[in-house]
Amino acid sequence: VGEALSQAQRVAAERDALSSLLVGGVDRPGADLAEIGRMLARLTENHTKRMAALGLAA
Query: Residue 9 corresponds to which amino acid?
Result: Q
For the chain, give every domain's residue range. Answer: 2-53
8: Cα within 13 Å, side-chain hemisphere: 11
In tens, the pLDDT along 5-58 reads 899 888 988 998 888 888 887 788 888 878 888 888 999 999 999 999 999 987
The pTM assigned to this predicted structure is 0.67
What local confidence, expressed as pLDDT, does residue 29 receive? 83
What local confidence, expressed as pLDDT, does residue 47 receive? 94
Q: What gap in Å lies between CA 35 and CA 38, rounded to an integer?
A: 5
